[in-house]
Amino acid sequence: MGLPESFYVDKLVGKFNHIHLFVTRKTMLEQEFGNMKTYLDQHGTLWISWPKAKQLGTDLDLKEVIRIGYDHFMVESTCMRIDEVWSALKFTFPKPNKEYQNSYGKHPL
């Protein structure tokens, strides 16, 4: 993916406040989202990055990333541009008794 070697972690142990996952394919995100979620503490954030505008052969877009996050009962809060190739979206655990809805759908609480 063109990431510096120091950013690659093969195995996680423990709980983390922040995790940043880079993926290029929908199947990768569907497989890894739930796995990464298990390593977050209850107030943690999971950043998901994917290539913009079909770059690097991606089949991901903002709508799909949000849908996959919702499928894992997490909600998005911040979207940002990392560089000319990568976008990032921050996910958190939903707050109790709060309804989440955007143009992509309603969170299935």
- Predicted pLDDT of residue 36: 94
Q: How many domains does the chain have?
A: 1
> Is there a domain that residue 37 lies in?
yes
pLDDT tens-digit map of 57-101: 999 999 999 999 999 999 998 999 999 999 999 999 998 887 777
Q: Given pLDDT bands bounded at 50, 70 and 90, which one contains residue 55?
A: confident
HSE of 10, CA atoms in CB hemisphere, 13 A: 1
Instruction: Give me the pLDDT at residue 2, please.
Output: 59
Does 101 fall in a domain? no
| Amino acid 99: pLDDT | 77
CATH code at 90? 3.40.50.150
pLDDT tens, residue by residue, 4-14:
555 666 788 89
> By residue range, what is the domain housing residue 21?
17-96
Overall pTM > 0.95:
no
Rounded to whole angstroms, the Cα distance separating 107 from 41 reads 21
Residue 107 lies in a domain: no
CB 107 within 8 A of CB 72: no
pLDDT of the residue at 93: 93
